[in-house]
Amino acid sequence: MNPSINIRLAATLTVAIVAGCSGNLGMLELSGYTMGTSYSVKAVRSDASISLEPLSNRISVRLEELENLFSTYRETSEISQFNAHAGNEWFEIHPAFLTVLTKGIDIREFSDGAFDITVGPLVELWGFGASNSTNMVPTQTEINSALKVTGFNYVEVQSSPPAVRRTRSGVKLDLSSIAKGFAVDEISALLDGFSLTSYMVEIGGEVRARGMRADGSNWLIGIENPISINGLADSVQDVVYLRDAAIATSGDYRNYFEYEGNHYSHTLDPRTGWPVSHGLTSVSVIERSAMNADAFATTLMALGPELGLQLATRENIAALLILRIDEEFKILQSPAYKTYLENR
């Protein structure tokens, strides 16, 4: 969940059909690049009439459409046009854009402002946006100025026709904490439209799975351990079995910079304007939709271990939180996550 989205259409698309067990025609696999990261699709091909080329073309087209909506790295995208638009009049948006905005509003309300998609000015100020990274800590005066144009109370949304407007000049949207999950859901819906009932979709680590693998087993997803153990990076902290569910992870160990010996994560607290510094290094959330999992993971990451676990418990969110304490770590699990493990 990077703070800004760099969506690039796949220059190459890798396609393979892997033999499966009886009752299916093998595993259909597609992979490429989008949103500044990799994506992969694996689906059990149970019907010989399902053609590979139309499916791969539809995926590419849909990813391009999403780039035109959400990429802050593309000047012509819908979000970039809104952010560059100086006026306060209504700005027409795509229905999919409205869906993401509406979900962002809902999550902001129950998170008491820990999740806010108007963090655009803060993201740019800290150098995590489309502009080049500064690797410098802004002054408190600069942070305060950015906070004055941060807050969803400065944005109004209407559904018919879909439109958004700012009520304070300088407000900018940033949907990177939710749009990648939305993209996973959109590709999943596309697969549903092709009558595929068993598949896994992954974009930059955000995953949604339906049904079962070609051999009849559940989809296995490894949750990365963000802390190196015995010098081994990228070790697995936990393995979850996904079926008709999604998982997303937010962490402070992939996108950050260090300045004068201090670690500054890309996860910003929109209430203070500063990167999180509470020791929580990773949050993984399991939800029915990848959009929810994506946004909830960012929310809990911003809240920190105590308030994050409280919110996850109250809202029945399945969450795994990894807390860094010096060179060791502590694992926190919400009741819903524990139940999920018991039922896997």
pLDDT in tens, 47-57: 777 777 889 99
Residue 80 lies in a domain: yes
Residue 141 lies in a domain: yes
Residue 77 lies in a domain: yes
The confidence score (pLDDT) of residue 191 equals: 96
The confidence score (pLDDT) of residue 4 equals: 33
Residue 221 lies in a domain: no
Most confident residue range from 195-204, 211-220, 267-276:
195-204
The confidence score (pLDDT) of residue 258 equals: 61
Please give the mean pLDDT across all residues of the chain.
84
Which range marks the domain in which residue 111 is found?
70-166
Query: Number of folded domains in the chain?
Result: 1
Q: Please give the Cα distance from 15 to 97 (Å, whole number).
A: 30
CATH code for position 131: 1.10.3980.10
Within 169-278, where are the H helices? 179-193
Residue 278 has pLDDT above 70, yes or no: yes
Give the residue among 207, 175, 188 at the shortest CA–CA distance from 293. Answer: 207
Give the residue among 173, 183, 157, 162 at the shortest CA–CA distance from 291. Answer: 183
Q: Please give the Cα distance from 5 to 102 (Å, whole number).
A: 19
The confidence score (pLDDT) of residue 300 equals: 96
pLDDT tens for each residue of 94-137 = 999 999 999 998 998 888 889 999 999 998 888 887 666 677 88
Residue 54 lies in a domain: no
Q: Please give the Cα distance from 128 to 254 (Å, whole number).
A: 12
Task: State what percent of residues in the chain have pLDDT above 70.
Answer: 84
Residue 6 has pLDDT above 50, yes or no: no
333 token code pair:
């699990």
Q: Which residues have a Cβ under 8 Å from the Cβ of 266 and sit 6 or more positions away?
A: 2, 3, 126, 128, 252, 255, 256, 275
Give the residue among 199, 181, 186 at the shortest CA–CA distance from 50. Answer: 199
Q: Which residues have a Cβ under 8 Å from the Cβ of 317 and sit 6 or more positions away?
A: 285, 287, 296, 300, 311, 334, 336
Residue 104 lies in a domain: yes
**Axis crossing angle, helix 305-314 with helix 290-303, rounded to the nearest 10:** 140
Most confident residue range from 42-56, 105-119, 207-221, 281-295:
281-295
Residue 161 lies in a domain: yes
Residue 140 lies in a domain: yes
